[in-house]
Structure 1
């Protein structure tokens, strides 16, 4: 679970960095997509343990 939280923090930081620097909007989009994918993966794994 700690690994998933670490990935979420990294993707969130990349998204913020991408929005802060005008030329890196693509980085923000990738960060958001990876954040959502990691969140969904973590949610599904949490549900599989039950």
Structure 2
């Protein structure tokens, strides 16, 4: 599960920068933002679950 979040984060950042630098593929900016949000939510859920297992 952590590997999936890291992969999503990397893909999101790459798509975000691609969307910022290349105006022709501006929709990649929005895809990058969505993927980053999903990765952040997954990281927060993992952190919360880890904290409640003590």
TM-score w.r.t. length of structure 1 = 0.72
**SS state at 1:21 partner:** helix
RMSD: 1.4
Residue 36 of structure 2 corresponds to which residue in structure 1?
Answer: 32
Aligned length: 47
- CA deviations 1:7-50 (Å, max 9, x no partner) are 21231133133124332011110111011101110001001110
Structure number with greater Rg is 2
Gaps in structure 2 of 5+ consecutive residues? 20-24
TM-score w.r.t. length of structure 2 = 0.68
